[in-house]
Structure 1
Amino acid sequence: MEASHPGWNTSFHAQLVGMGITTSSKASVLTDEPESYGCLTDRVSLTWSREIAQGIDYLRRVSGMAKNRPGPGNCGRVSCNWNAAIWFCNDNKYEKEVEWNSIADGAEWVLDRCTIKQQWVAGVSTYTDGWNVRVRSDVC
């Protein structure tokens, strides 16, 4: 279906969320696969997987491109609710621009592979072109 109608899945789930229906981010189609990922298990980093899933759904509804200033290690928080944050980080020495959906894919990669006991998650997805997505606890 995605091949015949690009973006249908994202649009469909965004409409469900808009109606107050909770969707599983695992139902979406990942378009950007990271070079590597790592899971964090320390108490300070772990956050609620349910809120991260809501953050992913939010990012999938944002249009346009996300920009981040030169790095390395320049991170900007792009979603945060109930102390569950998603960060877009640039490790390049120049400004980096990526699609919001790509950031959502990176967070979903972590969510799908690093969730502990179906409720806690933290980790990072790293991409070959010098950027990463971090999922972790933060005050918000």
Structure 2
Amino acid sequence: MRLAIVLAGLSAIYPVAFADIDPPEGYGLHIPEWDVEITPGGERVTLNGTVEEVREELLRLNPRWNDDFLEGLPDESEHSTLVKRTDFYGAKYVCGRWSGARHNPIVDGIKYLRGISGRPGAGPGPGNCGRVSCSYDSAIWWCNDSPKSKQLRSYGSIADGAQYVVQHCTITPSGSSFSSVTGQAFHKTDWNVIVRGANC
């Protein structure tokens, strides 16, 4: 697999390792595509891969990208009425189906997802999944459960699902300072988010 970049009508291909991308058992795989701004109000690029791979490439194109897009985002522990959230209230969830992900990289992935513009799309399901975040052996997946193609309002919607899993499925073993999380949250509009361990 390769990270594809389309800029100003020209196409350039940059190699990226997509090693060991194993979708959850029973699910198909799609590679997420991101249409994002390099600078606020400036040129846009189309990138394929995880949010971490996208962020790395955006920082190469604009070293101030973090300051331009992530500065001022609310901390996940803060309640913000300024950020419209996807409603997962009362959503069905399952904890512990897969190996655990490390808590802190998942929280970082959630923040990065909130900072990326654009609308995620997935081909027809059910069970069509894309790995949208992966770092330190900890991954966030987004899956379409509908037989039709689906497009969400924003990548923040996926972040909301991952945050719901974090809230309900985080475990801190007795005597340990490290937390892990693994689980799946199902949105009422036929899509779900999975947080699990991974090879990345």
> Which TM bucket (shorter chain)?
0.7 to 0.9
- Figure out how many residues of one structure are paired with residues of the other and give that number: 122
Of all paired residues, the percent bearing the same amino acid is 39
Flag structure 2 segments of 5+ consecutive residues without an equivalent: 1-66, 173-177
Structure 2 match to 1:7: none
CA contact (8 A) 1:24 1:53 kept: no
Structure 1 match to 2:164: 109
Work out which of the two has the higher radius of gyration on C-alpha atoms and give 1 or 2: 2
Structure 1 match to 2:34: none
TM-score of the superposed pair, with normalisation by structure 1: 0.78
C-alpha change, 1:28 and 1:79, in structure 2 (3 Å) is farther
Deviation at 1:28, TM superposition (A): 4.7
C-alpha change, 1:105 and 1:88, in structure 2 (3 Å) is same
Identify the structure with the greater helix proportion.
1
Higher RCO (Cα < 8 Å, 6 or more apart)? 1
User: Could you tell me which of 78, 93, 100 is aligned with 1:27?
Assistant: 78
Deviation readout 1:81-118 (Å, 9 max, x if unpaired): 01110001001111111120110000001111211016
The answer to whether residue 64 in structure 2 is matched with residue 64 in structure 1 is no
Aligned counterparts of 1:127 and 1:69: Cα–Cα separation in 2: 17
Aligned counterparts of 1:32 and 1:45: Cα–Cα separation in 2: 26
SS in 2 for 1:31: coil
Flag structure 1 segments of 5+ consecutive residues without an equivalent: 1-10, 18-22
CA contact (8 A) 1:26 1:112 kept: no
SS in 1 for 2:166: helix
Structure 1 runs, 4 residues or longer, greater than 4 Å off: none
Aligned counterparts of 1:92 and 1:45: Cα–Cα separation in 2: 26
TM-score of the superposed pair, with normalisation by structure 2: 0.56
Alignment RMSD: 2.2
